[in-house]
Amino acid sequence: MSSKRLIFNFTESELIVFLEENGFPKYMYKQLIKWIYTKYELNPYKFSDISKVNREKLKEIFSFQLPKIVKISIDPEDETKKYLLKVGKHEIETVLIKEKDHYTQCISTQVGCPLRCKFCITGTMGLKRNLSAGEIVGQVMAVIKESDIKPRNLVYMGMGEPLLNYENVMRSIEIYTNRKGLDFAFRKITISTIGILDKLKGLIKKFPKVTIAISLNQIPEEREDLMPAEKKYPILKILKYFEENKYFRPTFEYVLIKNINSSEKHAHKLLRLLEKIRCKINLIPYNENKIFPYESVSEEELNKFINILYKGPNAITVRRSKGKNIQAACGQLAGEKDAE
Ligand code: SAH
């Protein structure tokens, strides 16, 4: 085991303290952040404005190791790129999605996921471990280094439940949004969660501009059948919170599965449930896969569902998942194999 500290784990304030403790000049944190996060230079010998002695010392103290790219799959239809990355002995996935005028990267927060939603492949793995902040940040850095593309948007919708890895996710947001470094806009970062109220409150308090997407997915009385974690983290508490805190406008995600949650009855209940909340509704036709027997909805069913929701006050969008041909779409991330 190397005792080196992974550089991508440090927030700016942590880096300042750590450098000082190790006898480096005070101003050096700025140089370091600039080399790493704006020039994407990870070889300390190339940090030309830092003295040779200090460059040597940096190399001794810090690890600059990114998650290793094991495999890249590209969807020929929409150019979605799925990266299989190695973190320690485990493998995780991140996806780079091409939009009209920008790129979005979908990142993972855990190896596997403990929630075991009945329709999601990642859930079948169970939780192997949390990713460190450095491993979360490393996903974007690895993609930038490989593709020369810096995404504009980041969505925490890959493997894992972000709010069950709260500390590291919070730290990663701080690192991603550092103005001197990667400089992502808060509003272009979306955290997708099943909804864990105390953590959600903390997230909103610290980062009020970050976008929050709640995976609602089913009306409350039937949600536990689809998402066993509903028992522990009831959705009604989340809905009540947003009803009472109208200054914040979350997105509610609703994956549409044929014969499960897509009937007109469901649409009417969903309409009533959300009409008192200021929110956006994001409908996601289910991405079919070989693991589960669930089927997606037809265009006709989708339109019927939308037309009912249109009677309410909230904006509705439909997410047409990309990367389906390479198992890179929502709920399809599981790693190719798992080196236990
Ligand atoms: N654990 C987090 C983030 C990962 S899932 C969460 O629950 O939000 C990201 C989104 O993909 C969720 O809204 C989830 O419901 C959706 N999803 C999972 N499997 C899917 C599938 N097969 N088709 C479409 N959406 C899916």
Q: What is the pLDDT of residues 161-172, one digit of tens each?
A: 999 999 999 999
1 band by pLDDT with thresholds 50, 70 and 90: low
233: which 2 tokens? 């983290």
- Determine what percent of the chain is predicted with pLDDT higher than 70: 97
**CATH code matching the domain that covers 72-326, chosen among 3.80.10.10, 3.65.10.10, 3.20.20.70, 3.40.250.10:** 3.20.20.70
292 has pLDDT over 70: yes
324 band by pLDDT with thresholds 50, 70 and 90: confident
Q: Whose CA is nearest to atom 8 of ligand 1?
A: 193
Note the pLDDT tens digit of each residue in 235-262. 999 999 999 999 999 999 999 999 999 9
To test the ligand 1 pocket, which listed residue (119, 163, 194, 203) has its Cβ within 8 A of the most ligand atoms?
Answer: 119
Q: Does any ligand 1 atom lie closer than 6 A to the CB of residue 257?
A: no
323 band by pLDDT with thresholds 50, 70 and 90: confident
Distance of alpha carbon 22 from alpha carbon 19, whole angstroms: 5
Question: What is the pLDDT at residue 333?
Answer: 73
Distance of alpha carbon 25 from alpha carbon 29, whole angstroms: 8
Side-chain half-sphere of 25: how many Cα atoms within 13 Å? 11
Dihedral sign, CA of 66, 130, 328, 192?
A: negative
In this prediction, residues 172-183 reach a mean pLDDT of 98
335 has pLDDT over 70: no
338 band by pLDDT with thresholds 50, 70 and 90: very low
332 has pLDDT over 50: yes
Question: What is the pLDDT at residue 336?
Answer: 55
The answer to whether residues 238 and 213 touch, using CB atoms and an 8 Å cutoff, is: no
Those residues whose C-beta lies under 8 Å from the C-beta of residue 51, and which sit 6 or more positions away, are none
Q: Does the domain made of 5-63 have the CATH classification 1.10.150.530?
A: yes
340 band by pLDDT with thresholds 50, 70 and 90: very low
Question: What is the pLDDT at residue 339?
Answer: 34
Residue 196 main-chain phi, psi, to 5 deg: -120, 105
In this prediction, residues 305-334 reach a mean pLDDT of 86
Q: Which entry of 60, 301, 330, 336 is annotated as an active-site residue?
A: 330
Judge whether 60 counts as a catalytic residue.
Answer: no
In this prediction, residues 314-327 reach a mean pLDDT of 86
337 band by pLDDT with thresholds 50, 70 and 90: very low
The domains of the chain are located at 5-63, 72-326
In this prediction, residues 185-205 reach a mean pLDDT of 98
2 band by pLDDT with thresholds 50, 70 and 90: low
34 C-alpha to ligand 1 centroid (Å): 35
**pTM attached to this predicted model:** 0.95
Judge whether 299 counts as a catalytic residue.
Answer: no
